[in-house]
Structure 1
Amino acid sequence: MAIYKVDAKLRDDVGKGASRRLRREGRVPVVLYGAGRDPRNLTLNHNKVLRLIEDEGFFSSIIEFSADGGAKQKVVLKDMQRHPAKPVVMHMDFMRVDDNQELVMNIPIHFLNADKCPAGKVAGIVIDYQMHEIEITCLPKDLPESFDIDLAEFEVGDSVMLSDIKMPEGVKAMAFVRTEDEDYDEVIVNTATVMDTSDDEDVEEPDVDVPTVDEDESGEDADSDEEKDSE
């Protein structure tokens, strides 16, 4: 698993006005909390943040975090707010990690060989991805980077359920932790039929009365206009 390093700066000024000033200076307001310690207000370099979030693993990995050159801490990213229209990160929340306390994280699913599977070559059939990540709980040392699902032999009518995913030792799917129903399960991917409307009968357009002008009447109107002009 890749190791992500984040160097932050401490900040004392808080509030909307202070956050706007920081963003204008190319900094991202950050809150660090958790592990039974007081929250801290910090900032990160915005350009470095943009490079980090290009990597999918950044969102589901343990991050090595330090502030003003201080002691390194293990953290995970818990929330990030983006600008609705611009490539700007508005705010980030990081949570300190306790090695002896379980985390709850969303881990991405990677679907392999989808372009080669039998189901993907059948006309009118699409592969329906119903989940793209799995919420899990585990100790930090057991945190998986991703889940890989190989669709090389995926046929029409097949499906992959959450219960089909073999969790690494020490990792549990939160969907099963929360429910008391032993038969509960969730679909991760299956196949769906695309409705073909190409053979549908042509829809008749409603008759619309289009007003016409009688040639004689138009001539009379034209003559009357000429008489008015001559007067």
Structure 2
Amino acid sequence: MKFVAFERAKQGTGASRRLRITGRTPGIVYGGTGEPLLIELDHNALWHALKKEAFHSTILDMELNGKESKVLLRDVQVHPYKQLVLHIDFQRVEANTKLSMRVPLHFSGQENSPAVKTDACLINHVITELEVACLPADLPEFIAVDLSGLVKGKSLHVNDLVLPKGTVAVTHGKPNPVVVSVVAPVEEVAAPVAAPAADAKGKKGKK
């Protein structure tokens, strides 16, 4: 994806507030061999771009002063209740430097799995994105996860995923985290039949 940015001269809370009033969003670009650079973006264009999955998980082409450079979205600050982006951070991307990035998982085949079709199990997506490390050229837009082989009593783990070439999973020390769990249906237990109620009048003993 491509977006247009403009250099921003002033900084500080007051300057950023005035910038937002004019329909612009303040931001910063950092990393790589260059110095951190203050930028501003058109807020409406940015707001619509943020609704697209690719804007969060792929390498972006940033046009600045007629030149393009590769960047990654690293942080977004949004107003707690207004539709307003307060600030945005980007990181420069260098072709020969590995990067780490959270990539969305796209699930398919769940309805065709034996766990669902035969055993009526519930499928719980424990994680919906995975952090990977790779060179920029190998960064996938998403990771496809085929759930058609799920069976009752088995979960799908990170080590079961087929990762795109050149990418490795980053689990931060967690051994083989669960991606999808299979939950067996709860069996309904029939309630015991209540004993017949005693005759309200009862039977009096014989005199």
Native 8 Å contact 1:101 1:139 kept in 2: yes
> Structure 2 matches for 1:96-111, cutoff 5 A?
96-111=92-107
How far residue 135 of structure 1 moved from its aligned partner, in angstroms, is 0.6
Would the alpha carbon gap of residues 5 and 194 (structure 1) be closer, same or farther in structure 2, given more than 3 Å must change?
A: same
Native 8 Å contact 1:124 1:195 kept in 2: no
Aligned residues: 192
Segments of 5+ residues of structure 1 without an aligned counterpart are 202-231
1:191 alignment partner AA: V
Indicate the RMSD between aligned Cα atoms, in angstroms.
Answer: 2.4
Separation of aligned partners in 2, 1:39 and 1:152: 47
SS in 2 for 1:191: strand
> Structure 2 matches for 1:1-231, cutoff 5 A?
4-67=1-64, 69-120=65-116, 125-175=121-171, 178-179=172-173, 184-193=175-184
Would the alpha carbon gap of residues 11 and 164 (structure 1) be closer, same or farther in structure 2, given more than 3 Å must change?
A: same
Identity %: 35
How far residue 200 of structure 1 moved from its aligned partner, in angstroms, is 8.4
How far residue 9 of structure 1 moved from its aligned partner, in angstroms, is 1.1
Would the alpha carbon gap of residues 97 and 124 (structure 1) be closer, same or farther in structure 2, given more than 3 Å must change?
A: same
Native 8 Å contact 1:129 1:189 kept in 2: yes
Would the alpha carbon gap of residues 159 and 6 (structure 1) be closer, same or farther in structure 2, given more than 3 Å must change?
A: same
How far residue 122 of structure 1 moved from its aligned partner, in angstroms, is 7.1
1:89 alignment partner AA: V
How far residue 73 of structure 1 moved from its aligned partner, in angstroms, is 0.5
Would the alpha carbon gap of residues 187 and 51 (structure 1) be closer, same or farther in structure 2, given more than 3 Å must change?
A: same
Native 8 Å contact 2:43 2:85 kept in 1: yes
1:65-106: CA deviations, max 9, x gaps? Answer: 122x33211111111111221222211100011111001100
Native 8 Å contact 2:30 2:92 kept in 1: yes
Separation of aligned partners in 2, 1:112 and 1:73: 34
How far residue 64 of structure 1 moved from its aligned partner, in angstroms, is 0.7
How far residue 62 of structure 1 moved from its aligned partner, in angstroms, is 1.0
1:18 alignment partner AA: A
Separation of aligned partners in 2, 1:169 and 1:29: 36
Segments of 5+ residues of structure 2 without an aligned counterpart are 193-207
Q: Which has the higher helix share?
A: 1
Which one has the largest radius of gyration?
Answer: 1
Native 8 Å contact 1:124 1:196 kept in 2: no
SS in 1 for 2:183: strand
* TM, length-normalised to structure 2: 0.83
